[in-house]
Structure 1
Amino acid sequence: MLVIYTTLFLALIISLITDMKSRRILNIITFPVILIGIGFYSITQGWDGFFFSSFGFLTGIGTLLIPFILGGMGAGDVKLMGAIGAMMGSAFTLKAFFIIALLGGVISLILILRKKGFFNVMKLLYLMPLLLSGNPGLLNLNYQDKSKIVFPYGVPIVLGTLITMVWGVV
């Protein structure tokens, strides 16, 4: 198992660095990790290991597939989750995804508060039921700044995975 933990740890650190520097998670990192995971489990545990790793891979891909299709994240993030699944299996990947989603939400909220300001965000949250009522004419909100708030999602993926590895959260 030392091979699995070491390989995954190195892949996570490299992915964190490349995502923060260039906003890319490299295929040259994720693809070999996926193959190492599936190969290791297949060799050491036979068909059970193959299915363990393959289902983990599919679980990892599945967690971020819809956000990717909707344009909310890049393919590298999806492949990194697949690599995590191939190395650690489905159960671990789902636990890690819960922590990853929480971290991603907290980071997003902090970035929104920094950009829009606390009171503007609170005003929007307070008025959200009014917006959802279907009568937007009641509000005169200024939406001139349509720029997106984006950040490298590899950060919460790596942090959430490491937290799950260390503490076995959930």
Structure 2
Amino acid sequence: MFIKDYLEAFSVYPYLLDFSNQTYGQWYKIFNKHSSALIQAPYKNLQKFDSEYRDFSEFPTYRTPSGTAKETISIYTGTKNSEHPAVNTIHSVKGKDFEGVMVVSSQRNTGSGHWKQWIESDGEAKRIGYVASTRAKYSLIWAVPTLKKGEKIIIESYGFKAIEIKDDNLGEGKTYTESEDEA
């Protein structure tokens, strides 16, 4: 969840994602200006699971690697490393497909990031759920908060199978679902 929220925070600052004709020094200067804000909002959802208090209001200043400040950023467009999973936002995967996709639901049933909104709403949330869920060629997993009995029935009516995963760190079960096709 944190990674998704962190990546989405970059959409608030689109110039951090525009590397065209920009030097490393210019980019680092812009990033340092917004680095605290980029992590504060996404961390709010993660904070309840953290045993330590963390203050991100003052973030360290990042420096360019030695000798690169005046170099123009080069964008590598070679082959993707298939050993590591890609982490994307909904907006970045439109029109693409993947062997397997895990769609992570938000914890609370508010906004467009919760699994119930993907199937029950008629607006933006349904579109987001559709785009996210139709990117998988073979394997689709919905990672959702722990399900109540009625919610499990709803999920299973869409062809998913609920599987409870114990999180030893939290001492409670977390549920994710996978489509019946992959089981």
TM-score by length of 2: 0.26
* Higher relative contact order, chain-length normalized (CA < 8 Å, sep 6+): 1
TM-score by length of 1: 0.27
